[in-house]
Amino acid sequence: MFKEIKELKYRKDNLIVQLDKNKQYLEEYNNSLEQCLNNIEHHKAAYKELEKIIVESNGIFIEKIEKLLNKALTSIFFDEEYELKIIVDNKKLSFELIDNKNMDDDNKPLQIDVEDACGGGIITVIGFILQIFIIQLLDLSKIIFIDEGFMAISSTYRPLFYEFLNKFCEETDTKIMLVSHDNLALEYAKNIFEIEHGKVNYLALKRTRLEKA
């Protein structure tokens, strides 16, 4: 009988020790879990702040792009009253051209979807401006090579476009190497090279119309 009681006491003591260990383990696990939950909350808060910063930064970038695009459109298409709006919908960008000279059925300025209803000249200007903005944003090479990139712009607006390019290059210290059959470009180029039968000839170092003015 005494032996059985001793055995039960031994089991009891062992059980108490094991329960104490389990209790300690559960307390440590609970503390670790609380720390993890706190970290998760901190991460969520940080993510929200980061998302807020990204949204605000995107807004700043979009504002800069709009300003540059509208500056180009106003400078080049001098006889129009164009205004470009960038619309952000579900993280997707779309471009809307507002024609303030023409009204729709509700007597409001005509709104044109750039992708569907704009002429090649406007799309060329917009596309080029977006490209140079990205080049500036990423701090890429200041030398841009373009092969016959502007023939979609009508001869009426091409001179103003070349002037805009010269101003842009001077303001941003950028050089543009334009490969073109457009003789009009010669009037605005600073350096002229001719390629004939694979041979490159240096023709002239010119002052642009912009510099002469």
pLDDT in tens, 175-204: 888 888 888 888 888 888 888 887 888 776
- The answer, yes or no, to whether residue 212 has pLDDT greater than 50, is no
Find all residues with CB under 8 Å of 160, minimum gap 6, and list them. 75, 76, 78
- The predicted model gives 29-52 an average pLDDT of 72
**pLDDT value at residue 117:** 58
Best CA proximity match to 85, nearest among 65, 105, 103: 65
- The predicted model gives 107-121 an average pLDDT of 77
- The answer, yes or no, to whether residue 79 has pLDDT greater than 70, is yes
Find all residues with CB under 8 Å of 195, minimum gap 6, and list them. 201
Q: CA-CA distance, 28 to 25, in Å (whole number)?
A: 5
The residue whose two tokens read 């104490």 is: 20
Q: CA-CA distance, 172 to 77, in Å (whole number)?
A: 22
Asked if the structure places residue 190 within a domain, the reply is: yes
Supply the range of the domain harboring residue 209.
141-213
Q: CA-CA distance, 51 to 45, in Å (whole number)?
A: 10
**pLDDT value at residue 183:** 85
Asked if the structure places residue 34 within a domain, the reply is: no
Q: What is the dihedral of CA 15, 18, 19, 23, to 10 degrees?
A: 180
Asked if the structure places residue 187 within a domain, the reply is: yes
- The predicted model gives 138-160 an average pLDDT of 84
Amino acid residing at 125: V
Asked if the structure places residue 212 within a domain, the reply is: yes
* CATH code: domain of residue 180: 3.40.50.300
CA separation (Å) from 61 to 54, 70, 76, 77? Answer: 10, 14, 22, 24
DSSP class of residue 145 equals: E
Asked if the structure places residue 73 within a domain, the reply is: no
Average pLDDT over all residues of the chain: 79
Least confident of 64-73, 160-169, 196-205: 196-205
- The answer, yes or no, to whether residue 110 has pLDDT greater than 50, is yes
Quote the number of domains for the chain. 1
160 pLDDT band (50/70/90 cuts)? very high
- The pTM of this model reads 0.63
CA separation (Å) from 129 to 15, 70, 85? Answer: 77, 10, 14
Asked if the structure places residue 206 within a domain, the reply is: yes
Q: CA-CA distance, 56 to 51, in Å (whole number)?
A: 8
- The answer, yes or no, to whether residue 208 has pLDDT greater than 60, is no
Asked if the structure places residue 115 within a domain, the reply is: no
Asked if the structure places residue 84 within a domain, the reply is: no
**Cβ-count burial 69-103 (b if 16+ within 10 Å, e if not):** beebbebbbeebebbbeeeeeeeeeebebeeeeee
Whether 82 contacts 95, CB under 8 Å: no
